[in-house]
Chains A and B, each alone.
Chain A
Amino acid sequence: MKILNVDKLTMETTIVQRPGNIISDMDGETVMMSIENGKYYNLGEIGGAVWKNLSIPITIGDLISKLTSEFNVEISECQKEVIPFLEQLLNERLIMIEKSI
């Protein structure tokens, strides 16, 4: 049973970190522990930068444009990398979708 339909992520979708995750730095990469499920995650260097941008609600479109300027990459390439990563975060319940206002 799939509760979350992650296929519905669009550029207009607003996402935000779920509370209850602890972040630290390990060998230059961002590592996280979920208090809810006790699991450890290594977000990596880029993943850490993505995560930082999710502390307050942000649309995926805005996130992508922030990251493209920060890392100097093409929008299409950035989307290709970031969307699957966000889907993973959603599936692991590390972020959530905010209802648009």
Chain B
Amino acid sequence: MNTMETVANEVIYKAFGFSVRSKISFPELLIVENNSDSIDIEIELKDLSNLWLELSDSKSTLVMNEMLVMFKVADTAIFLIEKGKRITVSPINQYKEDIIRLYLLGSCMGAVLMQRGILPLHGSAVAINGKAYAIIGDSGAGKSTLASAFLHKGYQLLTDDVIGIYFTKENEPMVIPSYPQQKLWQNSLDEFGINNRELRPIYQRETKFAIPIKNQFSSIPLPLSGLFELVITEKEDVELKQIEGLYRLQTLLIHTYRNLLIKNLGLTNWHFTNSTKIVNQINMYQLQRPKKKFTANELVLQILSCIKKENER
């Protein structure tokens, strides 16, 4: 008990392959017991109200430039993300740790990844035969549900919601494991808290649907080997087709997590170049799922047979 209390103040976690030292606790993250590595990311609490007044104009909820990303979620907190190394949280009014945590692991980590030159896609990634396959799509497309169907079949999950991609020296795209939890609610979380009226029901749903998946978490980076864009269709049946040509670049841009940061962080060129690297090495598919019925298991079979065909080639 005593040791617990002494470390409760500041704990070192592992998330997206980084060691994160935080004053805010994260039950969903793995704790690093004997940390010998240097700290990659610091999460701190500090009053940012003056800095916010200085940098933002009266109507904006988001400030971003090549040095920093800063955003305000009404009645919750101001967040500051710098150099991919430091996240500062300045709570507003009553301290709402659960909601703050969602933003830290969502938008804040998304900004950290971009500042560090890691391409974040919006979706889930599953491990199949030692390779990573990404399921990307709009919010509500059913990415997490599909990932969860893979888990039920015994496959491992690398990440849910944010897929961090880095490139090896040989330019091979690799998917970073994020943290061992699946969150079926998270897709509905608003980007930078612009419509925070929606937050309360999400917050309530959180406790219901956060699923720890420690045993089915792939803890090492795996090569990205295929990408499936999940879309909802009015049609009756599941359909899979290859995405070709320039549409592939557009698809990657649309599904880049918090893609409005790209231009403002001066990363347009970087994003374009890395997108073509991905396109040059893996196939991309669009997977249509009928709006009206639950087809997650059928989608799993479609993806598996598609991968099998690719491997036979």
Q: Does A68 contact B (CB under 8 A)?
A: no
Q: Does B250 contact A (CB under 8 A)?
A: yes
B250–A40 touching, CB < 8 Å:
yes
Q: Does B273 contact A (CB under 8 A)?
A: yes
- Closest B residue to A28 using CB positions: B280
CA distance A27 to B250 in the complex (A): 16
Chain B interface, number of residues (Cβ within 8 angstroms): 12
Given contacts A24-B273, A25-B280, A31-B276, contact A40 B268 (CB under 8 A): no
Q: Does B7 contact A (CB under 8 A)?
A: no
Q: Tell me the dominant secondary structure on chain A's binding face.
A: strand
Note all chain B residues with C-beta closer than 8 A to A41.
246
Query: Which residues of chain A from 14 to 51 have a CB within 8 Å of any chain B CB?
Result: 22, 24-27, 31, 33, 35, 40-42
Residues of A bordering B, CB below 8 Å: 22, 24-27, 31, 33, 35, 40-42
Residues of B bordering A, CB below 8 Å: 245-246, 249-250, 268-269, 272-273, 275-276, 279-280
A21 to chain B, nearest CB (A): 10
Q: Tell me the dominant secondary structure on chain B's binding face.
A: helix
Among candidates B246, B273, B280, residue contacting A40 with C-beta atoms closer than 8 Å? B246
* 18 A-B pairs with C-beta separation under 8 A: A22-B268, A22-B272, A22-B273, A24-B276, A25-B276, A26-B249, A26-B280, A27-B279, A31-B246, A33-B268, A33-B272, A35-B268, A40-B246, A40-B249, A40-B250, A41-B246, A42-B245, A42-B246
CA distance A31 to B280 in the complex (A): 12
A37 to chain B, nearest CB (A): 13
